Amino acid sequence: MERMKMLEWVQALCFVVVDMELYLDTHPCDEEALAFYRDSVENYEKAKRKFEEMYGPLTAVKSMDCERWAWADVPLPWEGVR
Amino acid sequence: MWTYERKLQYPVNITRPNPAMAKFIMSQYGGPDGEIAASMRYLSQRYSMDNKKVAGLLTDIGTEELAHMEMIAAIVRQLTKGCSAEELKESGLGEYYIDHTGAIWPQAAGGIPFNACEFQSKGDPLTDLFEDLAAEQKARTTYDNILRLVKDHEVADPIRFLRQREVVHFQRFGEGLRMYQEQLDSKNYYAFNPSFDK
């Protein structure tokens, strides 16, 4: 399923950002890590934007771009794919 | 404040229900070393953590634990979805079914309800950080106990991810402890409560 594959990609890129944030919390002066963090955020934002254009908003505020309240139609993440 | 993203931190797609396994895994939701206790512990402790960097770390790890709560709830939900009352009873979830039907409710594997006494927020930065280090190890041990019993890779995969995060958080809290100790007198770290006895 295409949506699931693309969501997994967004999840993976988001994970890099989250993990790097914890690393930088305790290594705030690591410049190499900071540069990697910037790239990670950029990659994540790009993938998220693409996903949202195709499959609808991941955050409520992104429903602003839709004509109706699309937030209500987005699948609930805990239901999984069966 | 927080912003909700309608996605899990790591995929949970379980196609084979197994309520007996759900009963074990729900301990990582509301059990003594579960994700609710973890999140509430760190998000409560941060107010008296008088080191801005470490308070930031507590906030960020406490926030990630909220995402882990959601993953565990998703696993339990998917493992019990579509099960009949009879199947739930046979699996050992009979009492849980009577009180909660198919809902998610925080309790330990043995049925003990979630209780704030499962974590501390002591108001002494070193005391709290040692508790946090222990908590990450206890959660890792619980995930190891679960993994010895899980045979289905669809369940084991997200559980392995969560186990790995306990290891990373332990590492980060160790670094946080070191950062905090650096602001103290290295000859006696435990002479007083550094955030209270100024």
pLDDT at B175: 98
Q: What is the mean pLDDT of residues B121-142?
A: 98
Does A27 score more than 70 pLDDT? yes
pLDDT at B23: 98
Question: pLDDT tens-digit profile of B4-37?
Answer: 999 999 999 999 999 999 999 999 999 999 999 9
Of B70, B169, B172, the CB nearest to A78: B70
The A residues from 12 to 71 touching B (CB cutoff 8 Å) are 14-15, 18-19, 21-23, 25-28, 57-61, 71
Cα dihedral B53, B114, B146, B69 in deg (nearest 10)? -50
pLDDT at B73: 98
CB pairs under 8 A between A and B: 81
Question: pLDDT tens-digit profile of A43-68?
Answer: 999 999 999 999 999 999 988 877 88
* A6, containing H or E segment: helix A2-26
Does B112 score more than 60 pLDDT? yes
Nearest CA in chain B to A72: B6
pLDDT range class, residue A82, cuts 50, 70, 90: low
Nearest CA in chain A to B17: A82
The predicted complex's ipTM stands at: 0.95
Q: Structural domain boundaries of chain B?
A: 19-181
| Cβ contact B11–A21 (<8 Å) | no
CATH number of B19-181: 1.20.1260.10
